[in-house]
Structure 1
């Protein structure tokens, strides 16, 4: 019978491992900004309609070129021109706008003439050209910085969804720049940033996996000092990781900036199960049981507690389904699945392997056992003597933490996950400083008045009014709108004079402009800014990466300005665009976090209630796991660690994992009480029996998550650091506050 069990276990696990291992080849890396938009949000629905009309607002690549002391150098401008021409030859590029191919149209009776703003082939005219460019403020802001030491090339490309295509376009652009010896350059744009993020994710995954393997081997060797206690657990951990990654490959779920945490989580969670099993197994062998008896007792006693801990950990991850962001939901589902995979493999493969390997020699570890018992006995005596002081200290810590919690800010930056000296961060900072930013920001103007269209004078005046606010108060750069078309047309029919780049100032001039505007309907500039029915117009601009907190406040002030300073019966202005959607994520963070934690609390309370059938024990189980969350939240507030997309998942993950030790402790207490022992004796036996496993698993878990501080992503760094701190706090509290509460609640009343 036993052999049949062993064969069945090995055949099933080998077969499933081959299946899941085969699908590892289908595992992809991806980081799509759009996937982090909040779902079920009316703004997302509106943006999707916007995208159908005008296309994605992120389909561009910015090239910033610096030259000192001034870009108005003939040799430099010739290189810029050559770069512009070569970029235009790329099939993936729809349009290239630069200072060397920018023309000002002049409309006369003889026809339409395109006058270049720079006469590249005539260096003697550079001074005159530069003066004319500086006189046109809008033109200057769109093409050069204030000091004329940098210029920008805007590349509008086709919609690209595949990483290989995006990398190819970025690489070909960089190659052209290098060929022309334009070494002082910067890039920005979705396809550029996503490529770097994915490459970083791939590199960090290998780092995390390598560090996790080394850590597991180190801890297992130090703790158990036996070859089988290193190799078998390592096999369990590896198989658990292969299974969940294989499932991701089968279901076409790519590894993104969140999912890259999964292998590390699998390592530490699987190790927690394994350590509890081996620790109990060795303990039963020391008590004189045979190998088979020790395995049976271990599976019976640890199996239930570990199932409950896997359940609470899984629930902690499943609560992420309450998030409004799809990658967080998927992270929760796959990680919860991985937790149960680790449990299944741990309680099938590990016992089967323990049956096959020789019974370990444990006599030489007697002194280690005595040392552990001595330490834990001292700890228990301290809890007995100082129980009230322990409770008081925790109350004080919570009160202090509340001060820190009140200082937590919800804020995120588009590129903040990277360190300041990272080239990508420096690129985006360059555009923020010199060209008003690189983040797209969009407004739409929808005509409400019957008989009017976007180009009607009344509507254009309203748009221009909003544009002025955007420049002066919103600090937007490179604003392009239907108003821009009208101003450029007015300038064109007035000889191209810079001062005529404005809206017509009377009815007669408006009538002169209208026929020429109608001729633009097939022009690319027209279709990018005005819908086919001419009832909706687009105001497009770029803004700096100022953080979602400031950005949302500015957006709200913009909405208030529109409400009180525009004629809402004529036109309706709506904020949209990818940047606005990413900023809006923060509006949901706190709500999602508290909602998810509430579900986790209720689930743990339900488990404790079923286990003990006592409301007091429900509170005793919850309180020691709430305190660490308060402490970590307080630390975030005091040290200015903001609540953002990555750090918002810390609390639900940490609670789901930290409660494991409490479940193991209370489950063992129930077993001891069921044997007819007194509450005090049962508590002492529980403390001495589970203390070692709790300490070892907490250290392994904390060290495992601490590996994440090796990440160059700020969010991943803080996720690892703060979860590690939470688990350490939970360990200390489980060995102090938890037994103190049990003593004060039950023993003193007997």
Structure 2
């Protein structure tokens, strides 16, 4: 049979498919869609979308904070702020700009309706009176003016679901104008900025991760094989698997987001595992003088099934992420699993074809490269056989200590959990929390009971009860609602005096306000709070980013207050909003993690059960892989790191990858036992034969995942750190604990 002919045909087919992959990769785009992180399938999500269609998105805005060391009542400073306001009002995709220089106090008198500016920018002599009026108006402090009178804030409402292109244009124009006006002490927060910055970060980090991974893999391959082909051949195979994986994403028009940006790096190091096991076994055969074709046949026969099973378990580890309700994580799990399957196909098509076509390695040189490993592995095995009790005792102590740490884990998340504490975006968000109302949105849907409208006195009184609770006990720093609208007009009807910022006392005054509101009902600022039929309303506010755990407690207390104090026959309420939906992700964290791990455990149990048909061996195989997971949980608990969606996926991914070494070890052990070897001798042969590949692949995996620590995203950083630590613990457990467990607890069945 002409194996070279078939090898050329295989490589030709691979080349055609690679060209197609390049075409689809060219279609890939980067994306960061905030809505994708809402829990899909949750009934609260559908409710929120309906609510948002009526009142607008609570997340499509920009906050611009401007600070002046001389104080805000400085003509030069205020003139520049006003110029910036006018500039933003003219920008495309800007719906509205709420600015300290344009905000006005409405006044209704006998002869008509007037709006008096709170700030008279061009009249410095009035600044003293303006200051008194402003700081006597509660709704302005913490929203447009800071309490220390050194900063002002602009609220820029953008069009719904602003895409990256328009966002970039708006942000670039804003920065240019800030520079032109010499407003250097500025702070910006909002979805448009975050979207733009996140995507740029992803592009840079993808290049960094891939470059670091390639250098790392080249280093380990050279240390292992000491030949040009031993470096280049694996690189070609793995780079093809990365390219094909990205090509599949391009085929289905899936963008690269904050999760799938990890796929190339993960595939580069994970895909190398099969290649290393094949090459290591092949070099061992060649070093013993075996002919090239024969060596390849022996290699594929001995490692073929093991690599298939390890690819299966790794893919299953990623596929378990489909149990989560977060779309980016589901896509990450699905497409990484597909890429792993493609990497397996390439490892058993491209790699054998190349090995058949290139010159056979020099047996003497191959033997020299392979010479030191058996010596090292025999020393390790002697240590294991002499200290089984110490190994078991240490393992038990680690488990107990880890359980203590796990008991201290806290489930929590914040709006910008993916960014580090020193990130400029996070620092700007903190600026708004320290000087203004904060950045965390609060949304409550208000529905008047049958027979009532939002502007009925009884309904307004119920809303005001909720407002008072939200200010005093919940922590809101700013509130807008139908009640605040009515109180604003009540003040307007009384000469704009702040003492009248209250609900109308008499029925006649309320009727005057409601008639005025009826005439203004189609104005955008009113439609954002009350529907045109006046049956539904919106209570919105801002507060500090307190985290999902604290927010959950506050929401429960709020619901209790409403149940006890608000008459449902007058007003019905429901919490909603983007912040609440992101908080709900925490409800899925533990359940999704446990579901994923149980699925992974079941798959491993089935695989080992089919190989050995032994329940004790199934238990033995799981123990060395569960202990590293417990250790990671303990470390997370002791370090006080909050468990969130991004960190929860680490456990299932790490387990799916870490168990590969166990399967390689047990598969080789099965082959040795089938040859009639005794259990101790079979363990010895297995340890020496597979130990080299296990150590090398683990080093590459650990090093590859450690490249992720260069990320500015906390989620990516923790994925890199904790998966690396898990894999390190797992390889130690496989090399030291697994042989002890097999020798002590596995009993061969009778033939």
TM-score computed with the length of structure 1 as normaliser = 0.98
Of stretches 557-566 and 717-726 in structure 1, the one that deviates more from structure 2 is 557-566
Equivalent positions of 1:420-499 (< 5 A) are 420-448=421-449, 450-499=450-499
The equivalences for 1:191-210 within 5 A come to: 191-210=192-211
Secondary structure (helix, strand or coil) at the match of 1:522 reads coil
The 10-residue stretch of structure 1 (84-93 or 195-204) with the greater mean CA deviation from structure 2: 84-93
The equivalent of 2:128 in structure 1 is 127
Q: Give runs of aligned pairs for residues 667-706 of structure 1, distance below 5 A.
A: 667-706=667-706
Q: 1:161 to 1:135 in 2, by over 3 A?
A: closer
**2:533 counterpart residue number:** 533
State the SS of the aligned residue for 2:135: helix
Give the distance between the partners of 2:277 and 2:254, measured in 1 at CA: 32
Q: Deviations over 1:115-139 (max 9, x none)?
A: 1111122110010011011111122
> Residues 188-218 of structure 1, C-alpha deviation per residue, up to 9 Å, x if partnerless?
1111111111110110000001001111111
C-alpha contact 2:597 2:652 (8 A) present in aligned 1: yes
1:369 offset after TM fit, Å?
3.4
Q: Structure 2 CA distance, aligned partners of 1:59 and 1:315? A: 38
| Residue number in structure 1 paired with 2:733 | 733
| 1:365 shift after superposition | 5.0
Match of 2:565 in 1: 565
CA distance in 1, matches of 2:92, 2:692: 65
Q: C-alpha offsets along residues 645-698 of structure 1, whole Å, 9 cap, x if unaligned?
A: 211110000000000000000000011111111111111100110011101111
Superposed CA deviations along residues 10-59 of structure 1, whole A, max 9, x for unmatched, are 11110110001111111111111110101111111110110111121111
RMSD: 1.4
Other structure's SS at 1:718 match: helix
**1:526-574, Cα deviation, whole Å (9 max, x unpaired):** 1010123321100111122222221222222222221222112211111
Q: Give a deviation string over 1:567-595, Cα, whole Å, max 9, x none.
A: 12211111111111111111110110001
Shift of 1:362: 3.5
Find the aligned partners of 2:75 and 2:371 in 1 and give their Cα distance: 83
Between the aligned partners of 2:260 and 2:420, the Cα distance in structure 1 is 21
Q: Which residue of 1 is the match for residue 46 of structure 2?
A: 45
What does residue 11 of structure 2 align with? 10
**Deviation of residue 623 (structure 1)?**
1.1
Aligned to 2:143, the other structure's residue is in SS state: helix
Distance 2:367 2:262 in 1: 38
- For residues 600 and 6 of structure 1, the distance between their equivalents in structure 2, rounded to whole angstroms, comes to 36
Q: Structure 1 residues 598-607 or 381-390, which shifts more?
A: 381-390
* CA distance in 2: counterparts of 1:141 and 1:293, whole angstroms: 78
SS in 1 for 2:153: strand
Q: What is the CA–CA distance in structure 1 between the aligned matches of 2:161 and 2:747, rounded to whole Å?
A: 67
Shift of 1:748: 11
Greater shift in the superposed pair: 628-637 or 539-548: 539-548
Distance 2:370 2:269 in 1: 24
* 1:579 and 2:589 are equivalent in the alignment: no
8 Å CA contact 1:160, 1:166 repeated in 2:
no
User: Counterpart of 1:103?
Assistant: 104
1:295-354 CA-to-partner distances (Å, cap 9, x unmatched) read 011111111100000000000001111111111111110010011111111111011111
Query: Are the counterparts in 2 of residues 387 and 744 from structure 1 also a CA contact under 8 Å?
Result: no
8 Å Cα contact 2:421/2:427 also seen in 1: yes
Count of residues in correspondence between the two structures = 749
Separation in 1, partners of 2:360, 2:211: 30
Match of 1:322 in 2: 323
The Cα shift of 1:368 comes to 4.8
Structure 2 Cα separation of the partners of residues 565 and 145 of structure 1: 33
- Structure 2 spans left out of the alignment, 5+ residues: none
Matched, 1:554 2:554: yes
Residue of structure 1 in register with 2:719 after alignment: 719
Work out the CA distance in 2 between the residues paired with 1:467 and 1:746. Answer: 67
CA-CA distance at 1:621 after TM superposition: 1.0
Tell me by how many angstroms 1:749 deviates: 11
User: SS in structure 1 opposite 2:521?
Assistant: helix
Which range moved further: 511-520 or 260-269? Answer: 511-520
Q: Give the Å deviation of 1:236.
A: 0.6
Which stretch shifts more, 39-48 or 302-311?
39-48
CA 1:250–1:56: 2 relative to 1, 3 Å: same
Contact 2:24 2:251 in 1 (8 A): yes
Q: Which residue of 1 aligns with 2:385?
A: 384
Structure 1: 5+ residue stretches without partners: none
Q: Aligned equivalents of 2:530 and 2:374: distance in 1?
A: 78
* Residue 280, structure 1, aligned to residue 285, structure 2: no
**How far apart are 1:747 and its partner, in Å?**
6.3
- Cα distance in 2 for residues equivalent to 1:351 and 1:303: 12
* Deviation larger for 402-411 or 159-168: 159-168
- CA separation in 1, counterparts of 2:170 and 2:540? 24
